[in-house]
């Protein structure tokens, strides 16, 4: 084949034309549409911008930020006069408090799921229908279903893009299986009764405060895969039991079957495997830690009860000692009173007797003194008279002796 300059020129012109057409098509590519509500924004891909109605309610009582529906379905329902059946609804995005989320997680949350959280504890929800909302005035064609499916696929991806386009949001996912519901009831419904036990040790009863930190770990980013019941592992497990509903969950320790859980209720059994987004959470180890916390609380309460019993016994003993001391004091008082009275009477009697004795003694002494004085007087008088006589005799004898000598 001979290539001439004319042929080369034609090929070059064709290439330029093709590039021009491509550039033209690219220039006509639809741009994304951004819908705002206060500080929040929702991005609608350009390919779907003409297919959906995206609204941003102001000050919605239910916390709805955005609501999105398929235009064709809405228009078909309106044409039939049906304006309140939710035709064409794809999804809503809204906010709730963390406390409200905890309450919702205690029950079936079909059609709603938490997907993000901010530093203030505000939780972001994706609401979506649980049935097919496509509507058409006539028959629904394959093209209609293809469009509907494409829009629903986009709706499922909205949480990820919403987090990326709104500052301060972090991913927050919570499971809502039957197991997740009962776990959340243990943590956030105060009247829920539950026990935890192991193959080796008996059940321990817990409360909501003890459950919260463990439930948050067990339910965060959890998804379940249902397995054949014949795959139940051998070996030991931790049992979480709800006696009011006779609902039981067995968490197995088997190394080759990590996060296998058996649910038993009303004579039925099912087995599933938990998969966590972080790839590291071991549900059985978490349950085992929870059990040991409850066991520690029981031990502490037992010690407190024993201390209370000792304290009560001490109080009783102290009371008895006080009563006994009071009785002794009262008896001593009575005895002292009796003794004092007796002593007083004895002293009075003794004083009277002493007085009589003293009086008698004094009288006798007086009489004796009088007698003695009279006798002494008489003796003195007799002695004096005898002395006088002796003196006279001696004087006469002396006189006679003198006269003899002289002679």
Q: What does the block give as tokens for 141?
A: 């064609």
Could you give the 3-state DSSP secondary structure of residue 90?
A: strand
pLDDT in tens, 171-189: 999 999 999 999 999 999 9
Residue 128 · residue 155 · CB < 8 Å: yes
pLDDT of residue 315: 54
- Is residue 25 predicted with pLDDT exceeding 60? no
Domain locations along the chain:
30-171, 178-296
Q: What angle do CA 189, 286, 108 make, to 5 degrees?
A: 35
CA distances for 334 relative to 327, 340, 346, angstroms: 11, 10, 18
Residue 10: pLDDT band by 50, 70, 90 thresholds?
Answer: very low
Site of tokens 């509500």: 37
CA distances for 14 relative to 8, 11, 24, 367, 383, angstroms: 10, 5, 15, 181, 198
Q: What is the CA radius of gyration of the chain?
A: 60
For residues 121-129, give the mean pLDDT: 97
- Is residue 338 predicted with pLDDT exceeding 60? no
Of the listed ranges 78-82, 166-170, 268-272, 300-304, the one predicted with least confidence:
300-304
For 207-326, strand residue ranges (E) read 222-227, 237-242, 247-252, 260-265, 268-276
pLDDT in tens, 269-321: 999 999 999 999 999 999 999 999 999 965 555 444 434 443 454 455 445 44
pLDDT of residue 298: 56
Residue 303 · residue 218 · CB < 8 Å: no
Helices of type H across 37-126? 46-49, 71-79, 98-105
364 phi, psi to nearest 5 deg: -65, -40
pLDDT of residue 59: 79
DSSP single-letter state for residue 84: S
Residue 85: pLDDT band by 50, 70, 90 thresholds?
Answer: confident
For residues 191-220, give the mean pLDDT: 96
What CA–CA distance (Å, rounded) separates 281 from 273?
12
* Burial zone of 193 (CB within 10 Å; 0-12 exposed, 13-18 middle, 19+ buried): middle
Residue 285 · residue 252 · CB < 8 Å: no
Q: What does the block give as tokens for 65?
A: 């930020």
* Domain spanning 178-296: CATH 2.60.120: no
For 218-267, strand residue ranges (E) read 222-227, 237-242, 247-252, 260-265
pLDDT of residue 329: 45
DSSP lists the bridge partners of residue 52 as 70
C-alpha torsion angle, residues 126, 128, 134, 135 (rounded to 10): -100
Q: What does the block give as tokens for 11?
A: 């090929």
Q: What does the block give as tokens for 297?
A: 């609380």
pLDDT of residue 30: 87
Q: Could you tell me what percent of the chain has a pLDDT over 70?
A: 66
127 phi, psi to nearest 5 deg: -105, 135
Residue 222 · residue 276 · CB < 8 Å: yes
Sign, Cα dihedral of 95, 96, 98, 102: negative
Q: HEC string of 319-342?
A: HHHHHHHHHHHHHHHHHHHHHHHH
For residues 103-108, give the mean pLDDT: 98
pLDDT in tens, 368-403: 334 333 433 443 344 334 434 533 443 344 344 334
Site of tokens 């590291």: 280
pLDDT in tens, 26-61: 445 789 999 999 999 999 999 999 999 999 998 788
């Amino acid at each position: 084949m001979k290539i001439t300059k004319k042929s080369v020129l034609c090929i070059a012109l064709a290439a330029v034309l093709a590039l021009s057409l491509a550039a033209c098509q690219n220039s006509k590519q639809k741009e994304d549409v951004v819908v705002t509500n206060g500080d929040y924004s929702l991005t609608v891909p350009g390919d779907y911008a003409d297919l959906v109605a995206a609204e941003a309610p102001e000050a919605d009582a239910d916390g709805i930020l955005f609501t999105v529906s398929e235009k064709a379905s809405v228009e078909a329902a309106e044409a039939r006069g049906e304006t309140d059946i939710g035709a064409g609804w794809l999804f809503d995005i809204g906010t709730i408090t963390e406390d409200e989320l905890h309450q919702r997680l205690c029950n079936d949350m079909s059609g709603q799921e938490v997907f993000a959280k901010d530093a203030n504890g505000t939780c972001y929800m994706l609401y979506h229908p649980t049935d097919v909302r496509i509507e058409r005035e006539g028959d629904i064609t394959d093209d209609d279903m293809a469009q509907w499916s494409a829009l629903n696929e986009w709706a499922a991806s909205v949480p990820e893009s919403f987090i990326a386009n709104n500052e301060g949001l972090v991913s927050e996912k919570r499971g809502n299986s039957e197991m997740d519901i009962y776990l959340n009831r243990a943590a956030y419904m105060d009247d829920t009764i539950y026990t935890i036990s192991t193959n080796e040790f008996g059940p321990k009863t817990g409360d909501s405060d003890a459950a919260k930190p463990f439930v948050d770990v067990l339910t965060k980013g959890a998804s379940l895969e249902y397995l054949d019941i014949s795959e139940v592992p051998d070996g030991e497990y931790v049992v979480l039991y709800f006696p009011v509903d006779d609902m039981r969950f067995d968490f197995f320790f088997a190394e080759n079957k990590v996060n296998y859980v058996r649910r038993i209720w009303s004579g039925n059994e099912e087995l599933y495997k938990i998969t966590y987004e972080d790839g590291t959470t071991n549900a059985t180890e978490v349950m085992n830690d929870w059990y040991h916390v409850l066991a520690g609380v029981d031990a502490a309460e037992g010690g407190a009860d024993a201390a209370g019993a000792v304290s009560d016994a001490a109080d009783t003993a102290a009371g008895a000692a006080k009563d006994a001391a009071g009785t002794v004091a009262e008896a001593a008082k009575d005895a002292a009173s009796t003794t004092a009275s007796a002593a007083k009477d004895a002293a009075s009697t003794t004083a009277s007797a002493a007085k009589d004795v003293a009086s008698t003694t004094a009288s006798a002494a007086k009489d004796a003194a009088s007698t003695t004085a009279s006798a002494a007087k008489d003796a003195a008088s007799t002695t004096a008279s005898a002395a006088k006589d002796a003196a006279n005799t001696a004087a006469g004898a002396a006189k006679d002796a003198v006269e003899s000598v002289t002679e």
